[in-house]
Structure 1
Amino acid sequence: MPTVHHDGRDIYYECTGNGPVVVLLHSFLCDGEMWNQQLTALAGKYRVINVDLRGHGKSSVADTPLDIYAMTDDVIAVLDKEQVTSATWAGLSIGGMIALRAALTHPERVSGLILLDTHAGTETRFKIFKYKTMVAIAKLLGISPLLPTVAKLMFGKHTLESQPGLVEYWKKKFAAMSLVSIENVANALCARDSLNHRLSSITQPALVLVGHDDISLPPACSEALSARLPHAQINIIPRAGHLSTLEQPQAVNRAMLDYLTAYAQRKDSVTA
């Protein structure tokens, strides 16, 4: 099990395939398994580094306050261990927020961006209140009573109706995350800064993907993000909610592969 020890935490990741490097960063409450369908599609041509973010999956619990920049530095530590100088960063939701911050704080480490169901702005006051209330309920009663609400935030209406087995599987995974990690990562999301005024300085090519039925970060968020990035294209995925990689994997795979074929770094991206 490859891990890197950074900032007092063990960050778990997996490497698959060979070629230009693609880093995968999952959503809040998920882990690297979220990308299984994409791994199959990418590993034939790319070296894929699939990271479990701090507090998620097999990485250490997020048992102290943190911010999204700290999570960005965790990923940089993974790249350092793997001697990767630059990679395409693909992130969904908080994973996309991490990727954007990497492009701003470590631009030399980012050759391209794939930004799925994510946002460059701050959280709204209403959502901050809502999420903090949900965390308080979870601390008092456990996460189980909240799972129906969480499922509706994560999955689109089509998926909820047509793939109940997928939804139930991931509800169990959401419930397995430690409450202290949920609280600290949720606080990091609620406290995030706005990047909108800095997006024009990101020169890397970007693909912006969003589920048509995403109610957590609706398509308008991705449209605004794409409009502010100098070299971005947007693709709205039909019949997908927030977790588009799980809900419509083939459509996401096609979009990612088309982007990577056009823009992925072709030179060796590993330090000599």
Structure 2
Amino acid sequence: MANVNVNGRSVTYSDSGGDGHPVILGHGFFLDHTVFAAQAEALGERWRVIAWDARGHGGTADDGVPFTYWDQARDVLALMDALGVERATVGGVSQGGFIALRTALLAPDRVSALILSDTEAQACDPYDKVRYEGLFAALSERGPAEELIGPLGTQIIGDHPQAEIWRERWRSSPLPLGSPVDCLLGRVDVTARLPEITCPALLMWGSQDRSLPVERMEVLRDRLHDATPIHVISGAAHSPPLTHPHEVNRVMSDFLSALAPARLR
């Protein structure tokens, strides 16, 4: 784990190093860059796996200044600059995917490919927005009460030992409330711009994802210029790289290995 100054703030990240093609990964809401530890370990010998903490998550502080996922896409580009990375495959889970899509729209010449898991291009669904507003209000008022973080862990991580590990983190660490929540709930719809993205895109989705229906990923499949079929990760909830790393690593490795050499330069 390391820190680097990005757009006037200290961003926490991990970097497997090496001379391989860079793969930059962003985590989902309430999590941090460590969800990609298994990818860094398994893929790091061949590819340079970089995972980073979004604003208000992990080691990257929320300074209270409002921001959008477009701003966080600019964080990815600034992180690339700081690490001497000209082009990379950019990806993520859930909000990490929101950011990856916007990175490809802002700087298509710097994004070789996309890796998108359990994510979407749409704005926050109105029904989801009401539910999440209630959850965030309760967390702000009551903190990480068991009746809140218990179901939250199951929703994000599923029936997996990692769920309790993350509940313990939420009990002892600040939760991403305030500006990160405003960013999540107020995100704009970029569906109409998906055809502008011409790079290859890997799509993955957990079969037990209760946060994001597969129909929302089908929009990515149908509108992105060069998307794979949706790889369904059997038994995974909203965080497949964390809970089902062996299958995710295999799918990612196959995708990255098949990229044309020109994409990797």
Q: What is the TM-score when the length of structure 2 is the normalising length?
A: 0.93
Cα shift at 1:25? 0.8
- Post-superposition, which runs of at least 4 consecutive aligned residues in structure 1 deviate over 3 A? 174-177, 264-269
Q: What value does the CA root-mean-square deviation take over the aligned residues?
A: 1.7
Letter in 1 for 2:46: K
1:34-53 alignment runs, 5 A limit: 34-53=35-54
55-64 vs 209-218, greater mean Cα deviation: 55-64
Q: 2:193: which partner in 1?
A: 198
43-52 vs 201-210, greater mean Cα deviation: 43-52
CA contact (8 A) 2:140 2:177 kept: no
Q: 2:242: which partner in 1?
A: 246
> CA 1:258 to 1:268, structure 2 compared with 1: closer, same or farther past 3 Å?
closer
Structure 2 residues not aligned, in runs of 5+:
none
Secondary structure of the equivalent of 1:14?
strand
CA contact (8 A) 1:28 1:93 kept: yes
Secondary structure of the equivalent of 1:182?
coil
Cα shift at 1:265? 5.2
Q: 2:142: which partner in 1?
A: 141
Q: 2:153: which partner in 1?
A: 151
Partners in 2 of 1:83 and 1:236 — Cα distance?
A: 34
Q: 1:169: which partner in 2?
A: 165
Cα shift at 1:17? 3.4
Q: What is the TM-score when the length of structure 1 is the normalising length?
A: 0.91
Q: 1:5: which partner in 2?
A: 5
Secondary structure of the equivalent of 1:240?
coil
- Is 1:89 the counterpart of 2:90? The answer is yes
CA contact (8 A) 1:115 1:209 kept: yes
Q: 1:208: which partner in 2?
A: 203
> CA 1:252 to 1:136, structure 2 compared with 1: closer, same or farther past 3 Å?
same
Secondary structure of the equivalent of 1:186?
helix
182-191 vs 201-210, greater mean Cα deviation: 182-191
Q: 2:30: which partner in 1?
A: 29
How many residue pairs are counted as aligned between the two chains? Answer: 262
Letter in 2 for 1:83: G
CA contact (8 A) 1:87 1:265 kept: no
143-152 vs 87-96, greater mean Cα deviation: 143-152
CA contact (8 A) 2:14 2:51 kept: yes
Partners in 1 of 2:112 and 2:67 — Cα distance?
A: 26
> CA 1:94 to 1:268, structure 2 compared with 1: closer, same or farther past 3 Å?
closer
CA contact (8 A) 2:112 2:264 kept: no
1:36-115 alignment runs, 5 A limit: 36-115=37-116
Letter in 2 for 1:80: D
- Between 1 and 2, higher relative CO (CA 8 Å, sep ≥ 6) is seen in 1
Equivalent position to 2:182, from 182, 187, 210: 187
Partners in 2 of 1:32 and 1:240 — Cα distance?
A: 18
> CA 1:209 to 1:268, structure 2 compared with 1: closer, same or farther past 3 Å?
closer
Partners in 1 of 2:13 and 2:157 — Cα distance?
A: 25
Cα shift at 1:235? 0.6
Structure 1 residues not aligned, in runs of 5+:
none
Partners in 2 of 1:65 and 1:177 — Cα distance?
A: 21
Q: 1:16: which partner in 2?
A: 16
Secondary structure of the equivalent of 2:116?
strand
Letter in 2 for 1:262: A
Cα shift at 1:176? 4.2
21-30 vs 56-65, greater mean Cα deviation: 56-65
Cα shift at 1:266? 6.0
Query: What percentage of aligned pairs have identical amino acids?
Result: 35
Secondary structure of the equivalent of 2:252?
helix
